[in-house]
Structure 1
């Protein structure tokens, strides 16, 4: 997922999905800079740790599925090409929506198709996703 603040958005999605932020190896990063394979400008600090500036990832705690958040200086301007659906269940959908809005999501609209209902939200960088 392209974004302007990959580490912050990775944190947000990790909490949203119950996944883990993938750790980055600070010693490896320092070694790459020391050997001239990377520059200090390609790194940043996030939550007190040295990380690659261009991206961060989250991983599913059980099966290792991974979602990458990569830096793009341009803010989102068109519909996303990837769309995440979070299945909360009818009984939990509104509570999940409220929790996500409290954490920085934006409510966009309610949807329905036949007996199926969902709510469409946007994450803190404007990427649309649904909770059903």
Structure 2
């Protein structure tokens, strides 16, 4: 039996990081169902403290998710979840972003201008990549 999965990333500010990654990948942040959230609070199933406003929209404070524009059939959902502790060590798993661009320099420069941090260049045989960290310090690689 094959299972479906989502990728979950711990985050200090899930909504801001989801926005950053959605822009980086050309994906979409999943919309918030404000009416549902309000009903959950009004019914006592959730509290106001479990919500926040992001870009003028009521959202769950605990997380935000992004999806490929072609849906879950194309790529798994990525969920950014709120955690209280800061990142302290290197990721054991990371995303590899394949751009298809012949020259990675403009892609990397644009990501750094938007808040990524350059970590190092990598090479194995004919394959090259650039390792960066997103605005919260999570490592990822960019390659062709």
TM-score range, shorter chain: over 0.9
Q: CA deviation at 1:78?
A: 1.1
Q: CA deviation at 1:92?
A: 3.0
1:34 maps to 2:42: yes
The CA distance in 2 between the partners of 1:14 and 1:42, in whole Å, is 23
The CA distance in 2 between the partners of 1:126 and 1:62, in whole Å, is 28
1:92 maps to what in 2?
Answer: 103
Q: CA deviation at 1:79?
A: 1.5
Aligned-partner SS, 2:105? helix
Q: CA deviation at 1:89?
A: 3.7
1:15 maps to 2:15: no
Q: Which stretches in structure 2 are left out of the alignment for 5+ residues?
A: 1-8
- Tell me the TM-score normalized by structure 1: 0.96
2:125 maps to what in 1?
Answer: 114
Aligned-partner SS, 1:36? coil
1:57 maps to what in 2?
Answer: 65
The CA distance in 2 between the partners of 1:82 and 1:53, in whole Å, is 25
Task: Give the length in aligned residue pairs.
Answer: 132
2:89 maps to what in 1?
Answer: 78
The CA distance in 2 between the partners of 1:54 and 1:118, in whole Å, is 33
- Tell me the TM-score normalized by structure 2: 0.89
